[in-house]
A and B are shown apart, each in its own frame.
Chain A
Amino acid sequence: MAKKVAVVTGGMGGLGESITTKMADAGYQVVVTYSPSNTKYKSWLDEMKGKGYAFAAYPVDVVSFEDCGAKCAQIQKECGNIDILVNNAGITRDMTFKKMTKNDWDAVMHTNLDSCFNMTKQVMDGMVERNWGRVINVASVNGQKGAFGQTNYSAAKAGIHGFTKALALEVAKKGVTINTISPGYIGTKMVTAIPKEILDSKILPQIPVGRLGNPEEIAGLIIYLCSEEAAFVTGANISINGGQHMY
């Protein structure tokens, strides 16, 4: 059987790298997208090649509907139909609402929320026609609980799940599932760069499991959601946060 094609946006980032490599290990043909401003994509691809991963990679500005359209068409031509989409690209522009500018708001809305529209729009018709598809939208615990200094990010990530549920209803009979995952604190470079005393005194005490999540654990959840066994899971928001926020 031909390998299923999975596109992971922001696939070279902290979570992205684990998602792409573990999905490749699990037998998917993984296509990685990176942002147009990414200057390190060549060395990343070389490093991956050294580890035995031959990824197709495309620069895709997820903020631009046109660019998503053009690149997804190119991907389908060169790599085959897109069966799985992981909307993982995201940014933060943290600051209190008091200091937040319109630009900080717009940048976060565009990259985290509008991007889900821009990318999903390109692949959904094909998934529906072929009667099989998986879309996994990466949100955050902070979309669920709200976070100080993240009015923009909390809004965008919460919005993602509204989108997930509505679209899940529309395509529920077509073999396509749409789900949201909401990671808590995951030990990516970004998070492990936080000074140890702050991690120990401020962050870990909020997490009942008592540690950060591993990026591999996020990848594992995504691989489960892509599986045949997960066909009944749709419109769900799966928390993966070590018990930090339950509801």
Chain B
Amino acid sequence: MQVMDRIKEEEKATAVGMSPVARRVVFVTGGMGGIGSAICRRLALAGHTIVAGCLPGYERKEEWLGAMRKDGIKVHAAEGDVANFESCASMFHNVRSIVGNVDILVNNAGITRDSLFKRMSERDWIDVISTNLNSVFNVTRQVVDGMTERGWGRIVNISSVNAIKGQFGQTNYSAAKAGMAGFSKALAQEVVKKGVTVNTVSPGYVETDLVMAIRAEVRAQIVASIPMGRLAKPEEIAAVVAFLVSEEAGYITGANISVNGGMHMM
């Protein structure tokens, strides 16, 4: 189908409240976290088949799957360590045997190990670079050839405002997240003629457990530094991802979309 036809079909279907014409297989790394969960829910509502990735032996997996099921959202779970190439290879081997080829990949897994550079250990550096940046290689490697062969694919990398502006106490995280954007732009060029788009989303502060765990006074300070005067809802990040993976967004590639309430504009 031509691009315009696909978009028209899509418009027709959504106008009458039907699920989209093209049902895709989505893989979200770190899919059970704050932003990851919102992305899974949003793309499930759009009618896609969802696989949420998590670490092997992740103790909240069953609880999370149960909560999703209770809300009538059907998702699959896959266990693998995104910082480990072999673990990713076997995870996607399993994923393919259960739901088929992955059409949409959201690289969302990430960790922080904040400390001043002065105190940062080599371990803190390596852990953050491996889980946030090398993971993008490890995971994307497993799915991109299939996307180019089939002539359709979407890759969305979740970066951070702190990659764009730098953050005190986050030399490792700022480096890893900024690296993601370099990767996205290079890969976007390589697959640009194959129907595959690669983009980066850079959220500001999002209302996840992680941020809500920050002491109330400190959180108030953070909120005061945001022109919009509030945190983002995870659903607002998910909405941008949902747009980027849609048919309509097929011309957007190599882009970086900031979703930060005006915190850092460029």
In the complex, A82 Cα to B140 Cα: how many Å?
40
Closest A residue to B137 by CB, please name it.
A105
Q: Is the pair B179, A156 in contact by a Cβ cutoff of 8 Å?
A: yes
Q: Does B152 contact A (CB under 8 A)?
A: no
Q: Does B208 contact A (CB under 8 A)?
A: no
Chain B residues with CB below 8 A from A149, complex form: 186, 190
Q: Does A9 contact B (CB under 8 A)?
A: no
Of A117-125, A193-201, A224-232, the segment with at least 4 beta carbons within 8 Å of chain B is A117-125
Q: Is the pair B170, A114 in contact by a Cβ cutoff of 8 Å?
A: no
Q: Does A215 contact B (CB under 8 A)?
A: no
Closest A residue to B118 by CB, please name it.
A125
Chain A residues with CB below 8 A from B117, complex form: 120-121, 124, 166-167, 170-171
CB contact between A161 and one of B145, B170, B178 (< 8 Å): that residue: B178
Closest B residue to A160 by CB, please name it.
B175
In the complex, A98 Cα to B175 Cα: how many Å?
24
CB contact between B179 and one of A98, A113, A124, A125 (< 8 Å): that residue: A113
Q: Does A184 contact B (CB under 8 A)?
A: no
Q: Is the pair B145, A162 in contact by a Cβ cutoff of 8 Å?
A: no
> How far in angstroms is the closest Cβ of chain B from A175?
15
CB contact between B145 and one of A98, A118, A146, A167 (< 8 Å): that residue: A98
Q: Is the pair B177, A162 in contact by a Cβ cutoff of 8 Å?
A: yes
Q: Is the pair A151, B166 in contact by a Cβ cutoff of 8 Å?
A: no
In the complex, A148 Cα to B184 Cα: how many Å?
11
Interface string of B175-190 (1 = CB under 8 A from A): 1111111111111111
Q: Is the pair B166, A97 in contact by a Cβ cutoff of 8 Å?
A: no
Q: Is the pair A159, B182 in contact by a Cβ cutoff of 8 Å?
A: yes
Q: Does B133 contact A (CB under 8 A)?
A: yes
**A interface residue count range (under 10 / 10 to 19 / 20 to 34 / 35 or more):** 35 or more
B-contacting residues, A154-210, CB 8 Å:
154-171
CB contact between B178 and one of A114, A125, A152, A159 (< 8 Å): that residue: A159
Q: Is the pair B133, A155 in contact by a Cβ cutoff of 8 Å?
A: yes
Q: Does B129 contact A (CB under 8 A)?
A: yes
In the complex, A114 Cα to B128 Cα: how many Å?
11
25 residue pairs of the A-B complex, CB under 8 angstroms, read A97-B141, A102-B141, A105-B137, A106-B134, A113-B179, A118-B122, A142-B182, A146-B184, A146-B188, A148-B186, A148-B189, A148-B190, A151-B137, A151-B183, A153-B186, A155-B133, A155-B179, A156-B179, A158-B179, A158-B183, A159-B176, A159-B182, A163-B171, A166-B168, A167-B117
Q: Does A131 contact B (CB under 8 A)?
A: no
Q: Does B254 contact A (CB under 8 A)?
A: yes
Count residues of B near A (Cβ-Cβ below 8 Å): 49
Chain B residues with CB below 8 A from A155, complex form: 133, 136-137, 179-180, 182-183, 186
Q: Which residues of A approach B to under 8 Å, CB–CB?
A: 65, 96-98, 100, 102, 105-106, 109, 113-114, 116-118, 120-121, 124-125, 128, 142-171, 235
Q: Is the pair A102, B175 in contact by a Cβ cutoff of 8 Å?
A: no
Q: Do A154 and B182 contact each other (CB < 8 Å), given the known contacts A96-B190, A146-B254, A167-B117?
A: yes
CB contact between A154 and one of B141, B169, B185, B191 (< 8 Å): that residue: B185
Chain A residues with CB below 8 A from B190, complex form: 96-98, 148-149, 151
Chain A residues with CB below 8 A from B122, complex form: 65, 117-118, 121
Chain A residues with CB below 8 A from B214, complex form: none
Chain A residues with CB below 8 A from B184, complex form: 146
Interface string of B125-147 (1 = CB under 8 A from A): 11001000110111011001100
In the complex, A124 Cα to B148 Cα: how many Å?
45
Chain A residues with CB below 8 A from B212, complex form: none
Chain A residues with CB below 8 A from B175, complex form: 113, 116-117, 159-160, 162-163, 166
In the complex, A155 Cα to B180 Cα: how many Å?
6
In the complex, A160 Cα to B187 Cα: how many Å?
18
Q: Does B167 contact A (CB under 8 A)?
A: yes
Chain B residues with CB below 8 A from A105, complex form: 134, 137
In the complex, A96 Cα to B193 Cα: how many Å?
14
